[in-house]
Amino acid sequence: MTETSITLSEHNIAAQRAAELRRLLHEHNHRYFVLGTPSITDAEYDSLFDELDAIEKRYPDLITPDSPTQRVGSDLDERLPKVTHPAPTLSLAKAYTAEEIQAWRARIDKVLDTTAAFAYTVEPKFDGLSVILTYTDGLLTLAATRGDGYIGDDVTGSVRTIRSVPQRIPVGGNAPPVPRRLVVRGEVVIHKDDFKAFQARMQAEQPEGTARFINARNTASGALKQLDPKIAASRPLTCYAFGIVDASDALGERLPRDQYAVLLYLRALGFLTSDAVQRFEDLAQVIAHVQAFEAHRHDLPFEIDGMVIKVDDAAIYNALGVVGKNPRGAVAYKFPPEEVTTRLINVTFNVGRTGMIVPSAELAPVFVSGATIRQATLNNFEDVARKDVRVGDWVRIKRAGEVIPFVIGALPERRDGTEQAITPPECCPFCASLVVRAEGEIAYYCSNPDCPERRARQLEYFVGRGQMDIEGLAVRGVRQLMEAGLIRDEADLFALTAEQLAPLEGYGAQKIKNLLASIEAAKARPLERVIAALGIPGVGLTVVRLLLKDFPSLAALQSATIEQLDAIHGIGEALAQTVVGWFAEPRNRALLEKLRANGVQMLPAENNAPRSEVLRGLTFVLTGTLPSLTRDEAAALIESHGGKVGSSVSKKTSYVVAGEAAGSKLEKAQRLGIAVLDEAGLQALIAERLALRQD
């Protein structure tokens, strides 16, 4: 085997693994933030996230717009009205050791080109639900969840019931003045003592067998997202303020900007802020503080899973900008998860939409800091073998937050000889088809493309947010329709009628109307969204857009050869083989025809074709924050005139378009002598080339 073929094989394996990791992370985000029923620990989630991040850094062409690495986590609820935040509310990069905190500071020094000392504010990392509070003329007029960082759910009615949230600011006669419009970020939690009392009251009031409230964060989140504010009022919610998102008028311009001063200002207005916040003059003090604080984490009245370290100086913080979905000026130091021991009593197997089989451990229930642990997802069979974990073992697990634990390993000294090895099943637990493993792969797969569990997972993916966006179905809705025999594949969704839905449990007239309207809207999704939703391995929205530039219709794409697709920059032979193979399958071709017959338009987006070709042959790399264009808008502008947008700077790069807080890409461009444009320069380049073409 040649070196090239090995590289292509590795790329193909990486593409398949990246696709599966994206699916898993989207599913676990939905379970955690929306359903409130997490099935893996924070540590396991971080492990999956870090694996995907590593793959995408090695193979930048595998990055997709819907990748969890490219966006802030989302907790949006389809039932609630949506609110657009005045500024992004981003998540934070993580650090687990002193060395990683020092590496964070080193990255700051590199961006700022300085090693000058500056101060830090250190705050507890609340394990709650973020809210954005808007005050107009001192009155609370709007409250929203963080959502995806840009759009949140309107929870004003529920937040008004929280007594620690001021209805009017300032509170008290000696408080400082307030801008006409002030937007504050806070975190809703339930204090430990309050939660214990609430649990006891619920246990006394509710009939036996009713689901217990065993997780403070999900209890708080669930209360805020209820349509009836009385539910929020019945739960002991507390809100801590920790930042200013936006402020209007001249007074807003004079507000404190440094983080520690902002917290003092919020407290002076009447907001509740944490007493555990401290300011330090150097990083050594910060590291000593956060490491020592771990021993006192349970002394706080609320749950935390770490400490947030922020550059205190607002000017420096803002100059550092954002990398990916994380502000450079802050990092979350995560405490090591707590360990407990329990018995692994059984192993079950889950099947994903690609057919991948994942082992899941059933545990003897163990109560850990407010949560009864019963399950743990085992990563894969290779991980099980490496740890030598067996059914019947006593196992050490780490509690990461208040969710399901991560299995560290077994306690072999406690074995009595009755333990049984965990091995891959020979047949799929859902359809009894043969289980296979491709050469060179870790994962095992169900060999049956018509496996009902695979079909259910694929349909869940197809209707999901970022794919076809069919609201009102989600996981339970898809399975209900399958069990009723109303759908077998994606195309069947577009033939549903009100008469078919009416007999189903939970389907009232309004729900049916809303669902059918959402399905009708989905029929008009552009071709790129339809293809991305079909779940072709390694083919997300970014890859689809690359394909459609050269093959702008479905017929053209279906007829493309491996050689033609391989010639497209950013595709490669392995992915080309996957795409051609998928379209060659008769069952897939039949599905596309059925989708068309059921009204799915599958037409290219109107703006898919370039407005001109004046940038053809040029490759651009974007870095930093542009004054008026978002990164996606700048990329779309370049592509609309025939140019290509790359993810990394090389000798083949024609121009680097740099904005505020541009980082290492700008430095590399300067070293290589590549031309650098700002936003105005990009616009001027396009205008100049258009003028030359007209002449």
Contact 221, 159 (CB under 8 A): no
Task: Answer yes or no: is pLDDT of 403 > 60.
Answer: no
Q: How far is CA 514 from CA 107, 470, 510, 598, in A?
A: 49, 10, 6, 19
Q: Which two tokens stand for residue 585?
A: 């399958």
Indicate if 523 belongs to the active site: no
CATH number for the domain running over 84-334: 3.30.470.30
Cβ contacts of residue 356 below 8 Å, gap of 6+? 20, 443, 444, 445
Give CA separation, 135 vs 151, 186, 341, in Å: 18, 13, 48
Give the pLDDT score at 48. Answer: 80
Taking only the tens place, the pLDDT of each residue in 440-497 is 778 899 999 889 999 998 998 888 876 788 887 877 788 899 999 999 999 999 999 9
Q: Each residue of 593-612: pLDDT tens digit?
A: 999 999 888 877 554 455 67
pLDDT at 620 over 70: yes
pLDDT for the residue 121 = 97
Sorted by sequence, the CB contacts under 8 Å of residue 191 that are 6+ apart come out as 236, 238, 301, 302
Report percent pLDDT > 70 for the chain: 88
Cis peptide before 170 (omega within 30 of 0): yes
* Second-level CATH architecture of 527-597: Orthogonal Bundle (1.10)
Q: What H or E segment, with its residue span, contains residue 106?
A: helix 98-112
Give φ, ψ of 66 to 5 degrees.
-90, 5
* Poorest-pLDDT segment among 413-417, 497-501, 607-611, 661-665: 607-611
Q: What digits encode the pLDDT tens for the residues 2-20?
A: 444 445 567 778 888 888 8
Q: For residue 394, is pLDDT > 90?
A: yes
**Over the stretch 530-548, which tens digit does the pLDDT of each residue have?**
998 898 887 877 788 788 8
Strands (E), 257-401: 278-280, 304-311, 322-323, 326-327, 330-334, 338-351, 356-368, 371-377, 390-391, 394-399
- For residue 268 the two structure tokens come to 């002076």
Give the pLDDT mean for 645-672.
82
pLDDT score at 6: 41
Rounded to whole angstroms, the maximal C-alpha distance in the chain is: 88
For the chain, where do the domains classified as CATH 1.10.150.20 start and end?
Answer: 452-522, 527-597
Q: Where are the alpha helices (DSSP H) in 562-618?
A: 562-566, 573-584, 586-597
Best mean pLDDT range from 120-124, 266-270, 585-589: 120-124
For CATH 2.40.50.140, the residue range(s) in the chain are: 337-440
Q: What is the pLDDT of residue 3?
A: 40
pLDDT level of residue 323 (50, 70, 90 thresholds): confident
Token pair of 626 as six digits = 């542009």
Average pLDDT over residues 509-514: 88
Average pLDDT score, the chain: 83
Structure tokens given for 87? 């500024």
Mean pLDDT, residues 282-299 taken together: 90
At 224, the pLDDT band (50, 70, 90 cuts) reads confident
Which CATH topology does 337-440 take? OB fold (Dihydrolipoamide Acetyltransferase, E2P) (2.40.50)
Per-residue model confidence (pLDDT) at position 103: 93
Sign (positive or negative) of CA dihedral 218, 219, 220, 222: positive
**For 179-222, what is each residue's pLDDT tens digit?**
999 999 999 999 988 888 887 777 665 544 344 565 677 777 77
Q: What is the full DSSP assignment across 656-681?
A: EEE-BT--HHHHHHHHHT-EEE-HHH
Query: How many residues comprise the chain?
Result: 695
Active-site choice (94, 110, 125, 325): 125
AA letter at 567: A
- The C-alpha atoms of residue 217 and residue 38 are separated, in whole angstroms, by 11
Parts of the chain belonging to CATH 3.30.470.30: 84-334
- Between 661 and 556, where is the model more confident? 556
CATH 3.30.1490.20 applies to domain 452-522? no
Q: Which fold has domain 619-694?
A: Rossmann fold (3.40.50)
Q: What are phi and psi of 690, to 5 degrees?
A: -65, -40
CB-based contacts of 105, cutoff 8 Å, min separation 6: 283
Phi/psi at 520 (5° precision): -65, -40
End-to-end distance of the chain based on CA atoms, in angstroms? 54
SS3 25: helix
Residue range 66-91: average pLDDT? 72
Q: CA–CA separation, 548 vs 544, rounded Å?
A: 6
pLDDT at residue 310 is higher than 60 = yes
- Mean pLDDT, residues 337-356 taken together: 86
* Average pLDDT of span 51-72: 73
Residue 75: name the closest of 27, 146, 1 by CA: 146
User: Across residues 279-290, what is the average pLDDT?
Assistant: 94
Q: How confident is the model at residue 401 (pLDDT cuts 50, 70, 90)?
A: very low
The torsion of the CA quartet 557, 548, 605, 649, rounded to 10 degrees, works out to: 170
44 pLDDT above the threshold of 70:
no
Strand partners for 669: none
Cα–Cα distance for residue pair 660/656, rounded to 1 Å: 13
